[in-house]
Chains A and B, each alone.
Chain A
Amino acid sequence: MSSLIAFWTLSFIAVAAALSMILNRNPIHSLLSLIVCFFSVAGHYLLLKASFLAIVNIIVYAGAIMVLFLFVIMMMNLNELNEKKPVKLFWGSAIVVTLVFISLLARIVWMTQTQLTHKVYGSAKALGQLLFKYYVVPFELSGVLFLAAIAGVILLNKKDDHVS
């Protein structure tokens, strides 16, 4: 019963924060509401007994990625003045497409809905054993991906005198 209350509270917070994120015209305010949304998603992970993923979600998303966003927003000095209003034509079509998409997704999720078994506990130990027993190659590949991302970022933002 208490987990049900927690579920609805967290869902409400997440949806409200996401809405305020896309409707806010100031990028920093919408970034802060996105952080609130990520925290409530991490709360959902805790409810689903995935404690390791909840911690990683907070550290990676609410910590690292959001700091990166904040840094870039402040570097570009964005505020609500230099963003133009969205095109009126876009609103109707965007809402229609989104509603169709939501209803399709909800139909799929509804069809597969059964009672949750709750037999698994996503602790760091269990996840680590699974990761290094069966998923070593994707893990190493993601390391290579990160190396490529770092190299690409450095290459993109290097000062090149002969091009510009």
Chain B
Amino acid sequence: MACILFGIGLLGLFIRRNAIMMLMCIELMLNAVNLIFVSSSALHGHLSSQIMVFFIMLVAAAEVAVGLALFAALFRSRNHIDVSDLEDLKW
């Protein structure tokens, strides 16, 4: 089940070209990993993996804030956030 969610997130990451949609797909993949962690906590009878999920949520929140700020800055400078047209960001 969590594998399927992760796979859908990955597929979405490949086929969408809107940067915000890609960020949402990353959120979906993180949630799938969280689900695997919680079920492993139930499997092994230990709470540490739930702590891990807690930290994953914290890092995901920070990541989303920074990512959205980056995209907002990008949008202000070029009026679109289509990732395939951002080739001048390549090194």
| Bound: A52/B34 CA distance, A | 13
Which partner residue on chain B sits nearest A59 by CB separation? Answer: B57
Q: Are A90 and B42 in contact (CB under 8 A)?
A: no
What per-residue 1/0 map shows which CB atoms of B32-62 lie under 8 Å from chain A? 0011101101111111101101110111111
Q: Is A6 engaged at the interface, CB distance under 8 Å to the other chain?
A: no
B12 and A22 form a contact (CB under 8 A): yes
Minimum Cβ distance to chain B for residue A98 (Å): 4
Query: A-B contact count, CB below 8 Å?
Result: 200
Q: Is the CB of A127 within 8 A of B50?
A: yes
CB distance from B77 to the nearest CB of A (A): 7
* Size bracket, chain B contacts: 35 or more
* A155-B38 Cα distance, complex, nearest whole Å: 36
Please list the residues of chain A having a beta carbon within 8 angstroms of any beta carbon in chain B: 11, 14-15, 18-19, 21-22, 27, 30-31, 34, 37-38, 41, 44-45, 48-50, 52-53, 56-57, 60-61, 64-65, 68-69, 72-73, 75-76, 78, 82-84, 86-87, 90-91, 93-95, 97-99, 101-102, 105-106, 109, 112, 114, 116-120, 122, 126-127, 130-131, 134-135, 138, 142, 145-146, 148-150, 152-153, 156-157, 164
